[in-house]
Amino acid sequence: MERPDLWTVEERARTQGHVLICGVDEAGAGPLAGDVYAAAVILPYRLELPGLNDSKQVSPKKRERLFDEIKEKAAAWAVASVDAATIDDINILNARLLAMERAIQALEPQPDFALIDGDRDKGITCTHQTIVKGDSISANIAAASILAKVSRDRYMEEMAALYPEYQFERHKGYPTKLHYELLRRYGPCPIHRRSFLKKLYGGEAP
């Protein structure tokens, strides 16, 4: 099956008068530990990035290559995060959107239009459009998904060095069998999201 043209969404936005169009995506909404990350990217229109796709559809090796290429060739890019304590305080949906807004605000130059992955947009101040599964149909969102995913994976590898008993390098904080086993053995560490652990602790946050 032929892959869709990843520039169709951007082309439509350009016919509406938008020029600096960014894509925005996040990584790490589901893990039990660590920050949630977001990235915003403005690619030169119709830039060719072989292999560009939703980060979940790209191998780790290709993600690393694309990560460097996107940063080198983008007109602008930014990565932002929201920590576990804030996630517990405002909930993961609001934290995702806060990370996205922070990434957009960090872009230089600022976009005149943002393509937001998903169907939520609370707190996004730039003129924008939400797109469900946008990382598979928009070049800018796909690029943002790569930057967010690689940035978060690297961060979790740093956390693995700080908290080696949890083996974050293996599961990146996601709710795997191994992660639950280690949580039962050691209890939560400072980067665990307490609000995500209620099920493990009988309905109460630890």
pLDDT interval class at 2 (50, 70, 90): very low
Render pLDDT for 7-61 as a digit per residue (tens, 0 to 9).
999 999 999 999 999 999 999 999 999 999 999 999 999 999 999 988 888 999 9
* DSSP strand pairing (36-42 vs 76-82): antiparallel
Mean pLDDT of 159-177: 97
Task: Identify the CATH class of 8-161.
Answer: alpha beta
Q: Domains of the chain: which residue ranges?
A: 8-161
Query: Does 4 sit behind a cis peptide bond, omega within 30 degrees of 0 on the bond before it?
Result: no
Report the side by side order of strands in the sheet with 36-42. Answer: 76-82, 36-42, 21-27, 113-117, 128-131
Lowest mean pLDDT of 24-38, 103-117, 190-204, name the range: 190-204
Query: Is the confidence at residue 1, as pLDDT, over 80?
Result: no
Instruction: Name the percent of the chain in helix, strand, coil, to the closest 5.
Output: 45, 15, 40
Q: Rounded distance, CA 88 to CA 78, Å?
A: 24
**Number of neighbouring beta carbons within 10 Å of residue 86:** 17
Mean pLDDT of the chain: 95
Phi, psi for 143 (deg, rounded to 5):
-65, -40
Q: Rounded distance, CA 9 to CA 50, Å?
A: 18
pLDDT given for residue 203 in this prediction: 58
The answer to whether residues 146 and 70 touch, using CB atoms and an 8 Å cutoff, is yes
CA-based nearest residue to 80, from 27, 156, 134 = 27
Q: How many CA atoms lie within 13 A of 154 on its CB side?
A: 11
Q: Which residues contact 72 (CB under 8 A, 6 or more apart)?
A: none
Phi, psi for 105 (deg, rounded to 5):
-65, -25
Q: Rounded distance, CA 45 to CA 48, Å?
A: 9
pLDDT given for residue 201 in this prediction: 72
The whole-model pTM stands at 0.94
* DSSP strand pairing (21-27 vs 113-117): parallel
**Number of neighbouring beta carbons within 10 Å of residue 16:** 9
pLDDT interval class at 185 (50, 70, 90): very high
